[in-house]
Amino acid sequence: MREMVVRKMEMKDTQKVYQLSRESFSEPWALAAIEKEMTNPVASYFVAEMDGEVIGFGGMWHVLDEGEIINIAVQKSYHRQGIGKLILNQLIAEARKRELVAIHLEVRASNEAAKRLYLKHGFNSIARRKGYYHNPTEDAVIMTCELK
């Protein structure tokens, strides 16, 4: 049986997270930016690991009493297997542990799978940012989940 865990991201994970970021996003973060996030006092990052291999990650910033999901990515060969859901659940649990009152995020308007996942977890669409994403240019849907 394969072993799946979601755990706090560590510095040793940054290279794989960088690779996943490059596969998943049209404008991925630089490796140095990912490494810097590991020492960011307002950031919480988690990785999903299958049999010891990092296959997904997610990050959130927590400022005052609110959280902002920065990114969630899953290796393409593991899409539609509930990995993104596990990462999102971990981020929500972290927000509750920190007693945050809400979590916000932006998602590409065309990313129907992600929007469905967020809606199932209590997020609501509250606004749209025109032309927020580049490469290709696309609107962002702003979503919020009230925790209290």
Q: What are φ and ψ of residue 50, in 5° steps?
A: -115, 115
Catalytic residue among 106, 112, 132, 146: 106
**CA distance linking residue 64 with residue 11, whole number of Å:** 25
In the annotation, is 106 catalytic? Answer: yes
Q: Which residues of 74-83 are buried (b: 16+ CB within 10 A; e: fewer)?
A: bbeebeeeeb
**CA distance linking residue 34 with residue 108, whole number of Å:** 21
In the annotation, is 45 catalytic? Answer: no
Q: What are φ and ψ of residue 44, in 5° steps?
A: -130, 120
Catalytic residue among 37, 49, 94, 118: 118
Quote the distance between the C-alpha of residue 117 and its chain's center.
Answer: 12
* Catalytic positions, written as ranges: 106, 118
